[in-house]
């Protein structure tokens, strides 16, 4: 899925994120989910592959947040900031969890989430 929710309003996006998780839990099929939205990657995936310009892997981050995940969790904010910094966010970007970080990332490659059937979302 290549940025399937990128142009949706917040309510539709949240509803479809929940639906993707429900389908994944019921079917145990692997879902490759590409997003430039850090918050979305943290809500959906347990492993996030951060790509550098040109598509090289910068880092694979294990998301250890417990489910159900909440943007109110202090650990969510710390992990969000770590991913943001990996994407170059320390260079003057001022977003925070709950904002729309994908807008300021411009052409940078965003996190790639790889859900699998192992009881958690993982990189295959």
**Beta strands in the chain, from DSSP E residues, in sequence order:** 33-34, 47-51, 57-62, 111-113
Domain edges within the chain: 10-113
CA-to-CA distance for 83 and 36, rounded, in angstroms? 11
d(CA 2, CA 71): 23
Enter the tokens of residue 33. Answer: 């989910």
Q: Per residue in 13-72, pLDDT tens? A: 999 999 999 998 899 888 889 999 999 999 999 889 999 888 899 999 999 999 889 999
Helix (H) or strand (E) holding 86: helix 74-86
The predicted structure's pLDDT at residue 88: 86
- pTM of the complete model: 0.69
């Amino acid at each position: 899925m290549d940025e399937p929710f990128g142009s949706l309003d917040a309510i539709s996006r949240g509803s479809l994120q929940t639906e993707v998780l429900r389908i994944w839990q019921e079917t145990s099929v692997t879902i490759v989910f590409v997003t430039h939205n850090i918050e979305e990657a943290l809500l959906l995936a347990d492993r996030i592959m951060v790509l550098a310009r040109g598509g090289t892997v910068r880092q694979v981050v294990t998301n250890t947040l417990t489910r159900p995940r909440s943007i109110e969790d202090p650990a969510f904010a710390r992990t969000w900031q770590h991913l943001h910094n990996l994407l170059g966010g320390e260079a003057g970007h001022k977003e925070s969890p709950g904002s729309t970080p994908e807008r300021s990332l411009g052409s940078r490659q965003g996190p790639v989430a790889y859900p699998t059937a192992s009881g958690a979302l993982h990189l295959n």
